[in-house]
Chains A and B, each alone.
Chain A
Amino acid sequence: MKTARRWRNASKAAIAVSALSFLASCAKDAPQDTWQPAGPNAERIDNLQRPVFYVAGVVGVIVFVAVAWVLYRYRDRGQAIPEQTHGKPVVEIVLTVIPVLILLGVAVPTASTIFKLAKTSDTEMTINVTGQQWWWEYDYPASGSNIEQYGITAPIVTSGQLVIPENTKVLLRVTSRDVIHSYWIPKLNGKKDSVPGRVHLLRMEGSKPGIYAGQCTEFCGLSHAYMRMEAVVLSRADYDKWVANQLEEYTAPEAGTDAAAGEALFIQQCSRCHQVNGLKNSDGSLNIAAPEQNLVSGAAPNLTNLMTRNTFAGASWDLLTPECRDNVWNASSADFGERYLAGVSTECLNQKDLREWLRNSPAKKPMYADPTKLASTGGLYRGMPALGLTEDQINIIIAYLLERK
Chain B
Amino acid sequence: MITTSSKLFYGLGAVSIAGSIVWMIAHDGGALGAVALVFIATALIFLGAIASYVRDGHVLSTDTEQHDSAPAAQRGPGRSWFPLGVALSLGTLVVGLVTSPGIFKVGVALLIAMLGEWLIQNWSDRASSDPSYNERVRGRVVHPLEIPIAGALLLAVIVLSFSRIFLSLSVNAGPIVFAIVGALVLFFGSMLSIRPGTSRRVVGTICGVALVGLSVVGVVLALDGEREQLTEAAEEDHFAHRACGEEADYSDEDAVRAVSAKSSVAATVTLKNGVLYAEMDGYSGPLTSITLQRSLNSNILFQNEDEGEHRMVVTYGKVVESLGGGVERETLLQACTSLVAKGGQQGVVVNVPKPSFSSTEGFSITVPGLEGASVEVLVP
Contact = CB atoms under 8 A, between A and B. Distances in A.
Interface string A145-185: 00000000001110000000000000101010100000000
Given A171-B282, A200-B264, A292-B353, A142 B358 contact: no
A123 B293 contact: no
Nearest to A291: B295
A177 B296 contact: yes
Nearest to B267: A199
A143 B287 contact: yes
A139 B287 contact: no
Nearest to B379: A155
A177 B283 contact: no
B52 to A, nearest CB: 58
Contact of A141 (B263, B265, B380): B380
A405 B263 CA distance: 39
A157 B380 contact: yes
A370 B221 CA distance: 55
A291 B353 CA distance: 8
A156 B355 CA distance: 12
B289 interface: yes
Contact of B264 (A120, A171, A199): A199
B346 to A, nearest CB: 16
Contacts of B298: 197
B282 A175 contact: no
Contacts of A157: 380
B282 A120 contact: yes
A173 B282 CA distance: 7
Interface in A189-218: 195-201
A130 B296 contact: yes
Contacts of A298: 294-296, 351, 353
Contact of B281 (A142, A156, A201): A201
A103 interface: no
Contact of A175 (B289, B291, B296, B349): B296
A372 to B, nearest CB: 25
B295 A292 contact: yes
B296 A120 contact: no
Contact of B284 (A123, A130, A139, A198): A123
Contacts of B296: 130, 175, 177, 298-299
A156 B378 CA distance: 12
Interface string B285-327: 0010111011111110000000000000000000000000000
Contacts of A263: none
Nearest to B284: A121
B263 to A, nearest CB: 7
Nearest to A122: B284
A265 interface: no
Given A155-B378, A292-B353, A141 B358 contact: no
Contacts of A139: 291, 293, 380
B349 A197 contact: yes
Contacts of B115: none
A387 interface: no
A237 B282 CA distance: 25
Contact of B282 (A130, A142, A197, A201): A201
Nearest to A126: B282
A288 B349 CA distance: 24
Given A199-B264, A199-B265, A201-B281, A155 B349 contact: no
B293 A130 contact: yes
B136 interface: no
Contacts of B293: 128, 130, 137, 139, 175, 177, 299
A120 B298 CA distance: 21
A198 B299 CA distance: 7
B282 A299 contact: no
A173 B281 contact: yes
Interface in B162-198: none
A197 B295 contact: no
A286 B358 contact: yes
A350 interface: no
B266 interface: yes
Contacts of B283: 123, 126, 143-144
B354 interface: yes
B357 interface: yes
Interface string A286-310: 1010011000011100000000000
Contacts of A137: 293
B294 A123 contact: no
Contacts of A297: 295
Given A130-B296, A141-B378, A286-B358, A198 B263 contact: yes
Contact of A199 (B281, B284, B351): B281
A173 B266 CA distance: 9
B295 A286 contact: no
Interface string B361-380: 00000000000000000101
B297 A196 contact: yes
Nearest to A156: B380
B314 to A, nearest CB: 16
A128 B266 CA distance: 11
A128 B284 CA distance: 15
Contacts of B284: 121, 123, 144
A245 to B, nearest CB: 17
B289 A143 contact: yes
Given A121-B284, A126-B283, A288 B354 contact: yes
Contacts of A123: 282-284
Nearest to B285: A144
A292 B296 CA distance: 10
A299 B266 contact: no
A175 B266 contact: yes
B357 A286 contact: yes
B235 to A, nearest CB: 28
A199 B266 contact: yes
Contacts of B355: 275, 288
A113 to B, nearest CB: 20
Contact of B291 (A121, A143, A177): A143
**Residue of B264, B284, B294 with highest tally of chain A CB at under 10 A:** B294
Interface string B129-156: 0000000000000000000000000000
A93 B153 CA distance: 66
Nearest to B289: A143
A249 B330 CA distance: 32
Contacts of B353: 292, 298
A200 B354 CA distance: 24
Nearest to B353: A292
Interface of A: 120-121, 123, 126, 128, 130, 137, 139, 141-144, 155-157, 171, 173, 175, 177, 195-201, 275, 286, 288, 291-292, 297-299
Pairs A-B, 6 closest by C-beta atoms: A298-B295, A155-B380, A141-B291, A198-B264, A292-B353, A288-B358
5 contacts: A120-B282, A143-B283, A156-B380, A298-B351, A299-B294
Given A155-B378, A177-B296, A288-B354, 14 more contacts: A123-B282, A130-B293, A130-B296, A141-B291, A141-B378, A196-B297, A198-B264, A199-B266, A275-B355, A292-B354, A297-B295, A298-B353, A299-B293, A299-B294
